[in-house]
Structure 1
């Protein structure tokens, strides 16, 4: 494992860990390989739920609404336990039913999940909004993995030399897409950030059906209200949003998770030239998808 620090000719600097030829967030635990081995062999339970997302794709939003549905409560659950960053023994000791999270690309999730032994909720967001949201996030935290302007950041995002969880957004999405297409035994629910924004309640119904929980319409409509993006943003601003694990990023570990939560924010952040470059890279890197995906960019 190597810690890589790259600075371009404009002074933009990015830091990440490299392991087995892949890039990982600097905060990935230890030498990465040992943590990945622990994740691969993690002992799951039949009622476990693994939430899988690329960063800035609605992780905390979906986690809290799904957790309410899973447990039958309306409490804010804060930040999920994240497999690549957390001591695995902490997740192992969690009471059932458990829900935990990873940003990891498909090859690095628990083997039990690959074998269909637990439920997976996978959330996809259009990469332009994910990229811009991530840039804003990194600009707000202390000890950031990226320092610089949007141009340098975008060059890194569009490459494989990015702060990944096993790869860039393109690698992450391609590998999950292939896995979903070729492994019909996976117990997986695929959600799109943009669909959640269009019709939150219908997606709450999908989550409830997938988790096979019997909640009435009145409860699920309360979930819709309490788990609205704006309401969770307010909850996150309280002490419930603090996390010991992320104290080194500032604000007592309360990460700047909830930005605007809108579709199409990239139009306010990318120049015409940057957007055209993004489109060229997207077309090239996503041309061999196992199953075509239809993304909403506005």
Structure 2
């Protein structure tokens, strides 16, 4: 494992860990390889749910919504336990039914998950909004892994020398897409962030019904409507502002570990953050990096 600190000619600095030729968030536990080995051999349970996302793709929103459905309560569950950052023994001791999370790409998830021994919820967000939301997040936390302007950040995001958990957005998305196409054993529900937002704005419980059906839990429509209301962006933001949003694990990032995860939660904010030239560069790099992807993925950018 190598701790890398790259600074460009304009003073923009990015810090990450490099392991096995891949980049990982600096807060990944230990030397990375040992943590990945523990994750790979993690003992799964049939009623486990693993939430998988690239950073800033609706993680906390979907986690709390799915957790309410899983447990049959309307309780705010805060931040999920994240496999690459948490002591695995803590996740191992969680009571059933468990729901935990990772930003890792497909090759690093538990072997049991690859074999269909637990349920996976995978959420994909359009890369421009994910990138811009991540930049804002990093600019608000203490001990940040990136210091600099949007131009330097975007150059890093569009490369493989990025903070991510095992790869760039492009690597993460391609590996998950390939896994869904090639591995029939995966017990996976694929959700698009933009579809969730659209239906939430239309007050539709369609995706909540999909989650409930996937989790194989019996929840009546009245309860699911309450989940929709309770897990609205505004309500979760209010809950997160209380002590329930604090986390000992993230205290080094400031505010008693209450991370600035709830920004606006909208589709299309990239339009206010990227210049015309930056957007054109983004489109060009996207086309180059995704041209060999299995199948096609379309996004809503508005």
TM-score, length of structure 1 as denominator length: 1.00
1:184 Cα offset (Å): 1.6
1:203 to 194, 204, 207: 207
User: 3-state SS of the aligned residue for 1:199?
Assistant: helix
1:53 maps to 53
**Residue 251, structure 1, aligned to residue 255, structure 2:** yes
User: 3-state SS of the aligned residue for 2:249?
Assistant: helix
**Residue 276, structure 1, aligned to residue 241, structure 2:** no
- Pairs aligned (count): 298
1:27 maps to 27
* Deviation per residue, 1:27-77 (Å, 9 max, x gap): 000000000000000000000000000000000000000000000000000
Q: Which runs of 4+ in 1 moved over 3 A?
A: none
* Deviation per residue, 1:137-187 (Å, 9 max, x gap): 000000000000000000000000000111000000000000001012210
User: 3-state SS of the aligned residue for 2:191?
Assistant: strand
In structure 2, what is the Cα distance between the partners aligned to 1:170 and 1:182?
Answer: 18
2:224 maps to 220
In structure 1, what is the Cα distance between the partners aligned to 2:176 and 2:34?
Answer: 23
2:175 maps to 175
2:270 to 266, 269, 284: 266
1:295 Cα offset (Å): 0.8
1:230 Cα offset (Å): 1.1
1:288 Cα offset (Å): 1.4
In structure 2, what is the Cα distance between the partners aligned to 1:166 and 1:69?
Answer: 30
1:231 to 229, 235, 241: 235
Greater CA drift, 192-201 or 3-12: 192-201
TM-score, length of structure 2 as denominator length: 0.98
In structure 1, what is the Cα distance between the partners aligned to 2:294 and 2:103?
Answer: 21
Map of 1:1-298 to 2, 5 A cutoff? 1-200=1-200, 201-298=205-302
List runs of 5+ in structure 2 lacking aligned partners: none
1:211 Cα offset (Å): 0.2
User: 3-state SS of the aligned residue for 2:185?
Assistant: coil
User: 3-state SS of the aligned residue for 1:191?
Assistant: strand
List runs of 5+ in structure 1 lacking aligned partners: none
1:291 Cα offset (Å): 1.9
In structure 2, what is the Cα distance between the partners aligned to 1:293 and 1:6?
Answer: 32
1:294 Cα offset (Å): 1.3
Greater CA drift, 139-148 or 177-186: 177-186
